[in-house]
Amino acid sequence: MSINKSLLTGSTTMLILKLLEETDMYGYEMIEELSKKSQNIFKLKAGTLYPLLHGLEHKDMLTSYEKSTGNQRIRKYYSITKTGRKYLNEKTKEWKVYTVAINNVLGGVDFAPVQ
C-alpha cells in the first residue's frame, strides 16, 4: 500500500474528521475536544483550524449550518458528510500502515505490534 506524502500535514484533517464523526461541533468546541482527547498534546491554533474547515467544506467533506445559542450568538456547526467519512476511513487505514512501518524500523522485531 502506498503512503500519501501529505500524510503528516494531512493528519490534522484526519483528527478533525474523527471528532466530527461522533457529533456536530463548532470551531471552538473542536479545539477544546482535541486538546482534551490528546491530553493536551495537540493544541490546534484557531488560525489554522478555520481555513482548514472552510477548505473541507468546499471539498464537500463537511457541511455547516448555523444555530443560535442562548446568549443570542449564532454558531456555525460543522457536520461530516458521506465523502468525509469515506476519506476518514481511507486515511485511518493509511495511518495504521504507516505507524506499523515506523514501529518496525524504530524498534525492530520487539516493537512490532501483535497482529
**Footprint (CB under 8 A) of another protein, residues 52-91:** 54-55, 57-58, 60, 63-70, 73-76
What is the smallest separation between the CB atom of 11 and another protein, expressed in angstroms? Answer: 18
Is residue 108 within the footprint of another protein (CB under 8 A)? Answer: no
Q: Which residues neighbour 24 within 8 Å (Cβ) at sequence distance 6 or greater?
A: 77, 78, 79
Is residue 48 within the footprint of another protein (CB under 8 A)? Answer: yes
- The full length of the chain comes to 115
Size of the site for another protein (CB under 8 A): 26
What is the smallest separation between the CB atom of 21 and another protein, expressed in angstroms? Answer: 20
**Footprint (CB under 8 A) of another protein, residues 12-41:** 26-28
d(CA 98, CA 5) in angstroms, rounded, equals 11
Please give the C-alpha separations between residue 23 and each of 9, 26, 35, 53, in angstroms, as whole numbers.
24, 10, 16, 15
Three-state DSSP class for residue 75:
strand
Among 51, 82, 106, 109, the residue binding another protein under the rule CB under 8 A is 51
What is the smallest separation between the CB atom of 10 and another protein, expressed in angstroms? Answer: 16
Residue closest to 15 by CA, chosen among 60, 101, 80, 73: 80
d(CA 13, CA 7) in angstroms, rounded, equals 10
Residues at the contact surface with another protein, assessed by CB under 8 A: 26-28, 45-48, 50-51, 54-55, 57-58, 60, 63-70, 73-76
